[in-house]
Structure 1
Amino acid sequence: MFLKKTRRDRKEAGLSLVRHEYIYQTIKEENANHNYPVQALCKLGQVSRSGYYKWIKRDIPLNESENKLIADEIEKIHHESPDKGYRRIRDDLERYHDIKVNDKRVLRICRNLNIKSTIKYANKGCTRHAVNPQYIAENLLNREFTADAPNKKWLTDVTEFNYYIGAEKRKVYLSAILDLYDRRIVSYVVRDSNNNALVFETFDAAVNANPDAHPLFHSDRGFQYTNRIFHQKLTGAGLTQSMSRVGKCIDNGPMEGFWGILKRERYYGNRFASRESVVKMIEEYIEYYNNKRLQRNLGVLTPREKHNMYLQVA
């Protein structure tokens, strides 16, 4: 018990120094460059003068040096992607910075640096149900949100984004198809209107890019998906249609989840002043999501890596 307590005390002491490291460093630089009094700088930084001088004269322990290195990289990651929580930061540290560290250590450092991910927001969908739907499919997916190979199960939906021309609010609509095996975005289209053409074009792009694919195709009961022509397009391409039940957003959960991820990480909290800026954000994010964003449910891989690994083994 005594040894465990001692290790914990050393760890907490090291993290405390990480928390004050930047204050002490600033005091040192301001004193050296501008000759500001140490006592006044310590008071401004809310640290003790004795603590500062102790930091100046100390021998830096290995654990503290490691925490400082990790903290520097964490701050860089957080500055570039403030949406990332400590788990995703840890995954990035290992994959992209060759720093192997556990979740708990990253969490402690994040707390000492007061680093938090951006707040989650509830997604507001833009589904418009048909007054007189021409075709309704059964919920064949039945919340089985896994697949044993790419192109076995596709989900789709439409969401909206606002941008502003002066005080006037305008919208663009994003239609996308997501593969349940590797969670990659198979195809997407951005247009100014939420209409049949938007969904049809997204579907055509997915089929053209994957001509041998005949997946189960799941959506909500939006008017585009209950259109008879769309059902004919599906069956003509050899796909089987599935639809969520009325008022059950969770039936299309991973697709709704992707909208939430995209908007939380790149959209909420920003004000887009042109159509071009919001479309560029969407395009760049989907490229990042497919090729750079690590996902633990994929084995800390990106969707593209998961997809390519299957192709290499098959």
Structure 2
Amino acid sequence: MYSYNDRIRAVELYIKLDKRVRAIIRQLGYPTKNALKSWHREYERRLDLPKGYARSKPKYSQEQKETAVRHYLDHGRCIAFTIKALGYPVRESLRSWIHELHPELHARVVGRSNGVARPPAMKQAAVIALCTRQRSAHAVAQELGVCRPTLYNWKNQLLGREAPASMKSTNQSPPSQERDELERQVESLRREVRQLRLEQDLLNKANELLKKGLGVDLQLLSNREKTLLIDALKEHYGLPELLAQLDLARSSYFYHRARTAVGDKYLEVRQSITDIFESNHRCYGYRRLQASLTRQDVTISEKVVQRLMKQESLVVPRPRKRRYASYLGEISPAPENLINRDFQAAVPNAKWLTDITEFQIPAGKVYLSPIIDCFDGMVVSWTIGTSPDAELVNTMLDAAIETVAETNDRPVVHSDRGGHYRWPGWLSRMNDANLTRSMSRKACSPDNAACEGFFGRLKNELFYPRDWKNATIEQFIAAVDSYIRWYNEKRIKISLGSLSPIEYRVSLGLAA
């Protein structure tokens, strides 16, 4: 919204330059063509412009807002269903009402590259303590230094949402006339519990032996993998029961068991390759796998790694096209392109790149705004949220500035021509920190190719290969946050001598 002085200045210049709209917008950097013509018509009619903007009557009452938000919360938090049921409003209006009336639903995670993830052993111990109920969930959460929702999220990840949060037994005796019926029901439940326990044990063994996720489809495993699972559990379950559950023929089981007994000279290498592949988001190709094996003092050719990957069905996902763009027009003058596609830096904190990318999952849209250091590709800071607003990029910039607050580093910050990098909040932060702005040319994504490359790797390695149908916004944000930390700390880059960005800086004595 423009002040009175800004509007009167534009109208006077419009009259002086003989109504040349493009020349005025180029000189002032504002407004739009239609807005300028509207101001001129008002000036001709009144010989002046109003001091302020008249506020129109709201289209929807406060009661209608509260009704729409209540319907959204009570019916699965589906914006499309609420609009279809009530007949109003548009999506953006409903989102703003939700953020206004329930700001706690506006999920956002801000992180820096020095965080530490919770170990799996700690999560398992927390879930066991929660389910056995020796203490309250609040007490368990306080002891671990987390909140209760995080504790239940761990339970859902390890046991699934169907598993009860409490497994304490009760000692109520049924009436004698219902005892026979209850005994039949108990027997049926025991069979179901055994079946569920068998399925859970198979999933656990697949995770332990084959490094598969707990949600893996057992029917898609190879016959050799199924044989390994049966051998691991045949002491607790009968062979016919296991064969039926895994849909494996008896002859196939004994065939693969005999082949396993003969031995495979690449058996340990296969396991190592599978471990590396699964522990690195299933995104390492044969070059990175060979580099990882070399770091473990295992010498093997690239062709053998390719063959073993094919035999173990280790497939790296292919890239896809990006969709989201933050360009809002030339709302202010753009600085020069100082980077000029030179994404090499001799020292850290010399050149920073930033942009925004969008993830669309069934639960909603999530946006990521990172800062990438051209020195080694490390993510200096990042913000993940549900709206691509000014707060998303400003919070990320504040976190990045903190990393160089105690040094004399004043990097060049390069971005595309998105409106987020032209708003007053961004400009004031850049000026206060003495940072230099740089922008790509209009509609020229190669000018910010290094940042676009990071988004492509993230989506190909984390987003596209997984099924996010049952994931909540909070779970997806946590997954992206965990990936970025892994990217900084563990993901090796061939260009850095098969080291991760943080390992590379430590090797050069640039980080502790």
The interval holding the TM-score normalised by the smaller chain is 0.7 to 0.9
In the alignment, structure 1 residue 293 sits paired with structure 2 residue 491: yes
The aligned counterpart of 1:136 is 334
Question: Which of 276, 282, 295 matches 1:82?
Answer: 282
Q: Show the counterpart of 2:192.
A: none
**Match for 1:108 among 307, 311, 323?**
307
2:337/2:440 contact within 8 Å kept: yes
Equivalent residue, structure 2, for 1:146: 344
1:197 aligns with 2:391: yes
Tell me the number of residue pairs that the alignment of Structure 1 and Structure 2 aligns.
Answer: 275
1:224 partner SS:
helix
Is the Cα contact below 8 Å between 1:173 and 1:192 reproduced in 2? yes
Match for residue 274 of structure 1? Answer: 472
Counterpart of 2:414, as a letter, is: H
Give the aligned residue type for 1:240: T
Amino acid aligned to 1:303 = P
Identify which of 343, 362, 368 aligns with 1:174: 368
State the distance in 2 between where 1:197 and 1:56 align: 57
Amino acid at match of 1:254: A
Q: Superposition pairs for residues 1-314 of structure 1, below 5 Å?
A: 22=224, 65=265, 67-80=266-279, 81-95=281-295, 97-124=296-323, 126-164=324-362, 169-211=363-405, 212-268=408-464, 269-271=466-468, 273-312=471-510
Change (3 A) 1:52 1:252: same
> 101-110 or 215-224, which moves further after superposition?
101-110
Q: Residues 21 and 177 from structure 1, CA distance in 2 versus in 1: closer, same or farther, beyond 3 angstroms?
A: same
Secondary structure at 1:262's aligned position in 2?
helix
RMSD of Structure 2 on Structure 1 (CA):
3.3
CA change 1:237–1:34 in 2 (3 A) is: closer
Structure 2 residue runs of 5 or longer lacking an equivalent are: 1-221, 232-237, 244-248
Given that 1:146 and 1:181 are in contact with CA atoms closer than 8 Å, whether structure 2 keeps it comes out as: yes
Does the Cα contact within 8 Å between 2:383 and 2:392 map onto a contact in 1? yes
The structure that has the greater radius of gyration is: 2
The C-alpha deviation readout for 1:169-188, integer Å capped at 9, x for no partner, is: 42221111010102111011
* CA distance in 2: counterparts of 1:57 and 1:237, whole angstroms: 66
Q: Distance in 2 between matches of 1:215 and 1:117?
A: 35
Deviations 1:153-201 (A, max 9, x none): 000011122343xxxx422211110101021110111122211221111
1:179/1:99 CA distance change after superposition, 3 Å: same
1:138: Cα distance to partner?
A: 1.4
Q: Within 1, Cα distance between the matches of 2:477 and 2:327?
A: 26
3-state SS of paired residue (1:242): strand
Q: Distance in 2 between matches of 1:312 and 1:52?
A: 52
| TM-score (norm: length of structure 2) | 0.48
Partner letter of residue 289 of structure 2? I
Answer whether contact 1:135 1:227 (CA < 8 A) is retained.
no
1:281 shift after superposition: 0.5
- CA spacing shift, 1:299–1:57, aligned 2, 3 Å: closer
CA contact (8 A) 1:150 1:307 kept: no
Q: How many Å separate the matches in 1 of 2:239 and 2:477?
A: 47
Cα contact 1:219–1:243 (8 A) shared by 2:
yes
Gaps of 5+ in 1: 1-19
User: 2: distance between equivalents of 1:114 and 1:282?
Assistant: 25
**Which runs of structure 1 show a deviation greater than 4 angstroms over 4 or more consecutive aligned residues?**
33-36, 55-58
Is the 1:187–1:206 contact (alpha carbons within 8 Å) kept by the matching residues of 2?
yes
Q: Which has the higher strand share?
A: 1
Question: What CA distance in whole angstroms lies between the structure 2 residues aligned with 1:93 and 1:159?
Answer: 33
Distance 1:137 1:68, change over 3 A: same
SS in structure 1 at match of 2:486? helix
With over 3 angstroms needed to count, the CA separation of the structure-2 counterparts of 1:21 and 1:106, relative to structure 1, is: farther
Shift of 1:306: 1.8
